[in-house]
Amino acid sequence: MTDGPSTLSTFAELGLPTPLVSALERRGITAPFPIQVACVPDAIAGRDVLGRGQTGSGKTLAFGLPLLAGLAGEQAAPTRPRALILVPTRELAMQVQDALGPLGRSLGLHTKIVVGGMSMSKQIQALRRGVDVLVATPGRLTDLIERGECSLADVRITVLDEADHMCDLGFLPAVSRLLDQIPGDGQRLLFSATLDGDVDKLVRRYLHDPVTHSIAPAAAPVETMDHHLFIVDRADKQDVIAEVAGREGRTIMFVRTKHGVDALAKKLARVGVRAGALHGGKTQAARTRTLAEFREGKVGVLIATDVAARGIHVDDVSLVVHVDPAADHKDYLHRAGRTARAGERGTVATLVAHNEVRNTERMMRRAGVRALRSKVTAGDDALVRITGAQPPSGIPVPPEPEPRAPRRGPRPGGRRDRRPGGRFEGRGEARQDGRFDGEHRSGRPAERREGRPEHRDGERRDTHRPRREPRSGGAPGGSRPGGRAGAVRHDDRRPRPEAAR
């Protein structure tokens, strides 16, 4: 096990082939980040790597570059990819494909994503043509393998990105079944900003003598990130949110449930703020468009569930707001990590009522974060100074039509369940109700087949209750007025019925 970066300081010195270095330069990426300096040489040497680097520290290239370098010079046989990158959400799969696809082309390598909610026949056609690097979510990949359209027998390099999250989502059995189909002498790279929980099982079972690169302690705050705890009266909360949403600059607001996301987007629209709403209950076309509009700056505010908390990179997000507190310190770190990426500065604000302060601060301590506490009301100085809040125009924004699902050709393999919105979801992916489609075919509840049903595609179902943070001192259990000690009362956090004014 080694920790910390070595002294190598250019991509060429890390052992990467010249076309790849040139392709990086064309994208303005000229010097490796510390996690890349640490991981790339070992991964190129064929070692299994366990990589933990803070959010925004450049892990995608830390695993992606050695993976591409390792595949150069050969081509995949039809339906037999040579490398597999498994990720928990479709958005992350698309992003990894965007980051690595063009770089792979510089070496003559074909990359393809395989995720639910997108045309399966196109994925099959691509696989038949030959795919070197497959970026996949576990459900759709399992489906394609069961149809005989993909074999993992030629996979030499496997990456698990956000490995702990895939385990948290209940994907461990599905991931294990996939890894069992990959030749045991292949290379495995496992990356996340937080590595804990069931990841250990994966590591012990599938990694051989891994070298661990952890470029900062587990709970080290990102230095360029400022954290604030805003104590808000419940009566004021909607007005405070509306003013924060009215700020200049890109803002992501995290809300616990899909319903909460939609409700907040509507309220903001009524007071003049057009905000994108992103959650697992939307069609993939809507999800993709919303994220694209946010990336392109057509909307300045993205309201999302935790489906957007892992791995998603959008340039210049200057503020992350926890409208509902994160379920635990890990989720806090990943949500917060959508700002202050790649050395940029960023601010993270958590809105809490008075009686939630203690539990939220306990969670932040576990995340290694010290937040400045302020009591804020709409329009007050601290809110304006810290977030740039300003009153929205008050002129309602007309609702955006949902994008229609693209026309589909005949499905390969016959009739399958349809999602609301006309989209097919392969087994293992989230449907509108958060359950597996496979459940209908097998007649067995998803939780018995795959683990906890509420954890699908990067987010929890609306019925989810936050995990309780272990107590670390403070008042003895049960002494908190107005509720159970140690629990954040989320039912009090629902947006109030009256719209933000």
Ligand X SMILES: Nc1ncnc2c1ncn2[C@@H]1O[C@H](COP(=O)(O)OP(=O)(O)OP(=O)(O)O)[C@@H](O)[C@H]1O
Interface residues with ligand X (CB under 6 A) are 29, 31-33, 36, 53, 55-61, 193, 311, 313, 337, 341-342
Return d(Cα 417, Cα 437) in angstroms, integer.
7
Nearest approach, Cβ of residue 53 and Mg ion (Å): 9
Nearest approach, Cβ of residue 51 and ligand X (Å): 9
Residue 61's binding partner among ligand X, Mg ion, none (Cβ under 5 to 8 angstroms by kind) is: ligand X
List phi, psi (to 5°) of 492. Answer: -75, -10
Which of 124/314 has CB closer to ligand X? 314
Nearest approach, Cβ of residue 96 and Mg ion (Å): 8
Place of tokens 């069992």: 180
Which of 87/271 has CB closer to ligand X? 87
Nearest approach, Cβ of residue 331 and Mg ion (Å): 15
Return d(Cα 67, Cα 104) in angstroms, integer.
9
Nearest approach, Cβ of residue 33 and ligand X (Å): 4
Which of 59/227 has CB closer to ligand X? 59
Nearest approach, Cβ of residue 191 and ligand X (Å): 7
* Residues ≥6 apart with Cβ < 8 Å to 494: 260
Which of 191/424 has CB closer to ligand X? 191
Nearest approach, Cβ of residue 227 and ligand X (Å): 16
Which of 34/276 has CB closer to ligand X? 34
Nearest approach, Cβ of residue 55 and ligand X (Å): 4
Check residue 311 for interaction with Mg ion (CB under 5 A). yes
Among 405, 331, 408, which residue's Cα sits nearest to residue 363?
Answer: 331
State which amino acid sits at residue 435: R
The DSSP secondary structure of 197-261, one letter per residue, reads TTHHHHHHHH-SSPEEEESS-TTPPPTTEEEEEEE--GGGHHHHHHHHHTSSSEEEEE-SSHHHH
Regarding beta strands 459-460 and 455-456, do their DSSP bridges make them parallel or antiparallel, or are they unpaired? antiparallel
Structure tokens at 5: 């970066």
List phi, psi (to 5°) of 43. Answer: -70, -40
Residues 323, 351: contact at Cβ < 8 Å? Answer: yes
Alpha helices, DSSP H only, in 281-389?
284-296, 329-336, 357-366, 381-387
Which of 313/480 has CB closer to ligand X? 313
Which of 325/337 has CB closer to ligand X? 337
Which of 95/283 has CB closer to ligand X? 95
Which of 169/386 has CB closer to Mg ion? 169
Residue 58's binding partner among Mg ion, ligand X, none (Cβ under 5 to 8 angstroms by kind) is: ligand X
Return d(Cα 466, Cα 142) in angstroms, integer.
30
Which of 29/152 has CB closer to ligand X? 29
Nearest approach, Cβ of residue 413 and ligand X (Å): 34
- Name the β-bridge partners of 211: 49
The DSSP secondary structure of 125-173, one letter per residue, reads HHHHH--SEEEE-HHHHHHHHHTTS---TT--EEEEETHHHHHHTT-HH
Return d(Cα 320, Cα 62) in angstroms, integer.
25
Residue 88's binding partner among ligand X, Mg ion, none (Cβ under 5 to 8 angstroms by kind) is: none
Residue 146 C-alpha from the chain's centroid: 27
Residue 284's binding partner among ligand X, Mg ion, none (Cβ under 5 to 8 angstroms by kind) is: none
Nearest approach, Cβ of residue 317 and Mg ion (Å): 14
Residue 238's binding partner among ligand X, Mg ion, none (Cβ under 5 to 8 angstroms by kind) is: none
Residues 362, 329: contact at Cβ < 8 Å? Answer: no
State which amino acid sits at residue 237: K
| Separation of first and last alpha carbons in the chain | 56
Return d(Cα 456, Cα 426) in angstroms, integer.
13
Nearest approach, Cβ of residue 85 and Mg ion (Å): 11
Check residue 59 for interaction with Mg ion (CB under 5 A). yes
Which of 123/339 has CB closer to ligand X? 339
Residue 256's binding partner among Mg ion, ligand X, none (Cβ under 5 to 8 angstroms by kind) is: none
Residue 77's binding partner among ligand X, Mg ion, none (Cβ under 5 to 8 angstroms by kind) is: none
Residue 346's binding partner among Mg ion, ligand X, none (Cβ under 5 to 8 angstroms by kind) is: none
What's the residue count for the chain?
Answer: 501
Residues near Mg ion (CB under 5 A) = 59, 311
